[in-house]
Amino acid sequence: MLKQRKGYRRGYPVAMLVGLEDDRAVLWKVFSNVVKPEKTVWLDGTWNDLKAVYNFCESIVNALRPTLKEGVRSIILASPTRTDYVRRFTNHINGHHSWLVQGSNKATFSEATGPAGTLSEVAALTKTPVFRRLVSETTSEETENLVEILEKRLNAANQDTVILYSLKEIEDLILTPQKPGKPKPEYVMLTDKYLSNSREKNRMHRLLQIAANRNVKTRIVESESPSGLRLTQLGGMVCFTKLE
């Protein structure tokens, strides 16, 4: 699923993989078909230097922010065996960034054992059944959180909540500047089957790209997952809004 091939379509974003090493953290974006390097954050000191580790962890969080804003909130942390790097990073998150681990729109973190600092190491790691299961479980938990938000919006009978189901309606909302006091698009969710079966893929990809450029979170969900099955019941694609 995650093998790199030249010229092969990368697919859609699934998760972020963070390889925590002795002297750096390497961030990889996990797509449905490939894994791509995203950014390297260097540790200016050692893991025994508390100030250096604090600054290091802050830099990792800042490096994750763009992907989080896109709507991908599944994060897999990997480190070599017999190290406590993942524990120390998650302690930092819990202590200084509770917004990442609390609330219905929280990120989902999981841990993988093994180095993920180089392309060859990542290739070996992502081929393992354990890693694939980890990706599936982590993304399922994340998308279930999103569907929980959607269900709350569906059950909120007020004029501030707007749920759209058709491509045309969603396009109109995202492409047209909204007046102050009107609901703004917050999230676009769709299943991978809805996208692959669409007769207007270019139009769909253009909409998703414009949505991302305008800070509207987007998420493509596996159609066979519990969240995907619920989206399919709603037509396969939804957009929900927030009032600013």
Domain ranges for the chain: 13-140, 156-243
pLDDT tens, residue by residue, 36-90: 999 999 999 999 999 999 999 999 999 999 999 888 889 999 999 999 999 999 9
Task: Report the pLDDT value the prediction gives residue 225, as an integer from 0 to 100.
Answer: 85
Which class in CATH covers the domain with range 156-243?
alpha beta
pLDDT tens, residue by residue, 154-180: 887 566 678 899 999 999 999 887 777
Sheet holding 13-20, edge to edge: 35-42, 24-31, 13-20, 74-79, 108-113
Residue 177 gets which letter from DSSP?
P
Provide mean pLDDT across the span 188-197: 92
pLDDT tens, residue by residue, 118-149: 999 999 999 999 998 898 888 888 888 888 88
Which residue from 27, 30, 34 is spatially nearest to 2, judged by alpha carbons? 34
Tell which wins on pLDDT, 2 or 236.
236
**Structural contact between residues 79 and 21, judged by C-beta atoms closer than 8 angstroms:** yes
Of the pLDDT bands very low, low, confident and very high (cuts 50, 70, 90), residue 224 is confident
Tell which wins on pLDDT, 11 or 100.
100
Query: What is the DSSP pairing of strand 183-191 with strand 237-243?
Result: antiparallel
Task: Report the pLDDT value the prediction gives residue 181, as an integer from 0 to 100.
Answer: 73
Write down the CATH superfamily of domain 13-140: eRF1 domain 2 (3.30.420.60)
Mean residue pLDDT across the chain = 88
Task: Report the pLDDT value the prediction gives residue 28, as an integer from 0 to 100.
Answer: 97
Whether the domain at 13-140 and the domain at 156-243 fall into the same CATH topology: no
**Structural contact between residues 219 and 149, judged by C-beta atoms closer than 8 angstroms:** no
pTM score, whole prediction: 0.78
Contacts of 228 (CB under 8 A, 6+ apart): 143, 191, 192, 193, 221, 222
